[in-house]
Amino acid sequence: MDTDLALRLLLSLAIGLVVGLERGWRERTAEPGSRTAGLRTYMLIGLLGGVFAALGRVLQSPILIGIGFLGFIVVFAWFKRAESRADEDFSVTGTIAAMLVFALGALAILGDAELAAAGAIVTAAVLASRESLHAFIAEITWVELRATLLLLGMALIVLPILPDHAYGPGGSLNPREIWMFSILIAGLSYAGYAAMRIIGPSKGIVVTGLTGGLVSSTAVAVAFARRAATGEDARLLSAGAAIAGAVSLSRVTVVVSLVEPTLVPYLAPPAIAAAAIFLAPALWWALKKGPAGEGGMKLGNPFELTPVLGFAALLGAIGFLSGWLSANFGASGLFPLAAISGLVDVDAISLSTARQASQGLDLSTAATAILIALGVNATARAVYAAIIDHGAFAIRLGLVSAAAILVGGAVTLAIG
């Protein structure tokens, strides 16, 4: 007796059992004999696929598997057609599921048994998620669907075809790496939007600060400043802006660690210390709750392609400039560039500098440049808020930003 073959045939039967459980449960209220396939039938379909695969292997005739599959699907589709007419149902899901069970049953004999078993579980999970998937499709907007397709296209279509070669001074420009970093930032924006969408804006300033900080802490500070200027609770709004600032610091630290892990000992201590200072107002707010309110902020779209292309161009320009300045002027050229970049964005200069560190730039120099950008960005947020709001919000955000910069600078000097 061929024990391995027997076990694989048993797996083919089990594949039908897994899918048949979901199919049988969904049609559990149907009258006996009114359905083309139930639990037993799907088990037999899986076993049938396994038997044809075993015969094809023994007889060295792979075409036998195709003949068996064709004959099976003709018979199954004939009965399924009659059932669909009686039920006035145009769904082809049951037929596709049966085809998959047959194919996975054959795969269990001829291929990777673990992969075949995993395929059965995934198939059953997809079939069981009909209601939730339909509800998701009913609620998703065109803007969200477009953003999802854009992100998938960026990652699965554009990224693989970009050249993976370094160009420019010091090899500072790599099209594939630049696009990969753009996808990373777009993905963070998408994740922040998704969290806001799932949790809902009614959870208040904390959720808005957390998710908004993943998108843009500067945008959160400006949006909250505008709301404070209209008379909303400045204390809660400044706490939310501080949370976004802490998330921004954490985000940069994580992204940089993915590009060049050796930068973490230089960057993480001051960044974490500054983030802790930013979080202090949020802790105070959590202990002393203020007036109830929505506290939500409409973030708009998950991300737009135009800003992503702009970020890629900005990243390329900063990479080129930083490579040229580092090659010709060393750190004396990189630091002013970091300060200027921090007025607008910290991700581009952080990623560019981290990449240079992976190519030989002194780690201490690279970390200092990133910290300069973070400090300038924190200062810029406070200044932008003061321009929009002339009250308590701007004062609170300015004070907590100054404290975070001082603490982060002190930690930097201590570990330097």
DSSP classification of residue 128: H
Residue 105 near residue 45, CB atoms below 8 Å: yes
DSSP state of 31: P
How confident is the chain (416 residues) per 10-residue block, as mean pLDDT?
Answer: 84 90 74 68 90 88 87 84 70 83 91 89 86 72 81 88 79 77 70 64 62 73 77 77 90 88 91 91 64 46 70 73 68 77 77 82 86 91 86 89 92 84
Place of tokens 């075949």: 116
CA distances from 178 to 41, 89, 263, 354 (A): 53, 49, 19, 12
pLDDT at residue 202 in the model: 43
- Give the Cβ contact number of residue 113 at 10 Å: 17
Predicted confidence at residue 65, as pLDDT, reads 87
Indicate the pTM of the whole model. 0.54
Assign 188 to helix, strand or coil: helix
* Distance separating alpha carbons of residues 276 and 287, to the nearest angstrom: 16
Q: 253: which DSSP letter? A: H
How far apart are the C-alpha atoms of 321 and 168, rounded to whole Å? 10
Query: 3-state class of 39 per DSSP?
Result: helix
One-letter amino acid for residue 110 of the chain: L
- Pinpoint the alpha helices (H) of 140-263: 142-153, 159-161, 175-199, 205-215, 217-229, 234-259
Helices 264-287 and 363-388: angle between axes, nearest 10 degrees: 30
